[in-house]
Structure 1
Amino acid sequence: MMSEHAPPLVDQAFQRLRKDVLTGAFAAGVKLKVEELQSAYGFSSSPLREALSRLSQEGLVRADERRGFRVAALTPDDLHDITRMRLMLDVPALREAIEHGDDAWEAAIVAAYYRLEKVESRLPDGPVILDDEWSGLHRDFHSALVAACPSQRQLAWSASLFDQAERYRRFSARFRKAARRKSTEHKKLMDATLRRDGDTACALLTEHIRGTLRNVQSAFDAAAAEAA
C-alpha cells in the first residue's frame, strides 16, 4: 500500500527536476542517472523514477533505449512542433479569454504586467531570459492573459508548452550577441486584450510566439557556425 507521504515526495521530486531541466542545469541530451539524482536531491529511487516518467510525458525527458532517461535534445524540428502547437492552443485560448474574462481577470493581467515591467526595468540590457525572476514573471503574465479561457485542459497544455519553449529561450539567450532592447510587445498585447480587441490581440500573440521561433533559429545558426 502506498504511503500517504509518497504523493508529496513525487511532486517535490518532479518540481525540482523539472525546474533544473527547464533552466538548463542539466544539459540537453545528458543522461539522468537515478543513483546520481538520489545523491543530488536526497530522494529515494521510487519518487525520482516517477518524476522522470512524468517529465517524459511532457516531452522534457526521453526514455533511453536501455530503460534510462535523458534530457530531451534541443532541435529545430522540436521547436517548430512546440511553436505549431502553441499557435493552435494559445491563440484560441486568448480569444476565448477575451470573450469570457471579467474585471478580476483584467486586474490580474494588469498586476502581472506591472510586476514584469518593474523587474525588467531594473535589469541591464542583455539576455534577461537567463534571469529566473524575470522568467517566472514572464510566465505569470502569459498565464494571466489566457486565464479566463474556460477549458482547463487547454490551459494545462498551454502552460506545459510555454515551459517547453523556455528551454529554447534560454538557449537563444546564450548566443545573443547584441544587447537586448526593452520591448513594448507585452504592453501592446496587454492593451489590445484589455480593449477586448480579439483580432489585434491574437495577431500580436501570434507574432510574439513566432518571434521566439526566429530568435532561437538564429541561435541554432550561431551555434552551428561556432561548431564549424
Structure 2
Amino acid sequence: MAKLLTNEKENGKHSSGQVSTLATSVYDRIRMDIVSGALKPGKKLRTDELRLRYEAGNSPIREALNRLSSDGFVVREEQRGFSVAAISKVELQELVKTRCWLEETALRQSIENGDSEWEERLVLAHHRLSRVPRLIDPKSAARNAEWDRLHREFHMALIAACGSRLLLGFCEQLHDQSDRYRQLAVAASYPARDPMDEHEAIYLAAIDRDADKAVDLLLNHYQKTAKIIEESDLSFDM
C-alpha cells in the first residue's frame, strides 16, 4: 500500500497544485464508488476511513468531499460531517425529467452539427459496447465495470457534437447521478429488458440524421429505465 500523506507533507512538501491534483484523483474515485453503489446511500464518510481507503491525506479528502457536495453526490450536515446523498423516487423522477430536457437539445444539435469525426466516434462507441456483456454473471447480477464505462461513452458520444461544453458537462453530471439509481437496481433491471436493442435503434437513427426519431427513442430509453427502477425492490429514501 502506498504510504499515506501526512499533515506535515500536505502543509510543507506538497504545493497547492499537487494537493489539488490529488484531490481530483480522490474526487474521481469517490464519485465512481458512489455511482457504482460501492458507497451506499446515506453512508457516513469519515475522514479517517477515507484516508485509508483512498490513500490520501486530509486536504485532498476535504477538497474532494466539498466538490462532491456541490455536485449533489454527497451531503454535508453541520456537526455531523459528510455522507453519501440519499436516494428517492422524487429525485429520480426529477433527474430523468431534467436529463430528457437537456439531452433532447444536445442530441438534436449533435445530429445537426456532427461531422465525419463525430460519426466515427459514435460508430466506434456503439461497436465496443455491443461486444461486451452487460453483466459478468447474469445469475448473480454481478455488474461488468467495463460495460458501464462503455455505456457511458456511448451516451456521451451521441451528444458530443452539440457544440456546448457547458451543456455536455450538465448532461455528464446528470448521467452519473441517474446511473447511480440504475446500478443500485441492476439486479431488478437486468431481466426486464435488452438495452442493446434500444441502443442499436438510437444509434441507427442518429447515424441516419433522423433527429425526431433519435430523440423519441432516447427519451423512451431513459423513461423505461426510470420505470423499471421505480418498480424494483430498491429501498428508496435511504
Evaluate the alpha carbon distance shift between residue 200 and residue 132 of structure 1 in structure 2; reply closer, same or farther with a 3 A threshold.
same
| One-letter amino acid of the counterpart of residue 23, structure 1 | S
Partner in structure 2 of residue 171 of structure 1: 184
Give the SS at the match of 1:70: strand
**More divergent stretch after superposition (70-79 vs 116-125):** 116-125
Q: TM-score, normalised by structure 1?
A: 0.90
User: Across the two proteins, how many residue pairs are aligned to each other?
Assistant: 222
CA drift of 1:57 comes to: 1.1
2:187 alignment partner AA = R
TM-score after normalising by structure 2: 0.86
Secondary structure at the aligned position of 1:62 is classed as strand
> RMSD value over aligned CA atoms?
2.2
Q: CA 1:126–1:159 in structure 2 vs 1: closer, same or farther (change >3 Å)?
A: farther
* Greater Cα shift, 129-138 or 154-163: 129-138
How do residues 1-228 of structure 1 correspond to structure 2 at under 5 angstroms? 2-66=15-79, 68-120=81-133, 125=138, 130-176=143-189, 178=191, 181=194, 183-219=196-232, 222-223=233-234
Give % identity: 36
Distance 2:140 2:30 in 1: 24
Residues 146-169 of structure 1: CA deviation (Å, up to 9, x unaligned): 000011100001001101111101
SS of structure 2 residue aligned to 1:147: coil
* In structure 2, C-alpha distance between the alignment counterparts of 1:127 and 1:214, rounded to whole Å: 22
Return 56-65 or 190-199, whichever deviates more: 56-65
Secondary structure of the residue that 1:170 maps to in structure 2?
helix
Distance in 2 separating the partners of 1:68 and 1:194: 48
SS at 1:201 equivalent: helix
Q: Which amino acid aligns with 1:44?
A: G
Amino acid at match of 1:89: L
The letter for the 2-side match of 1:83 is V
Q: CA deviation at 1:212?
A: 1.3
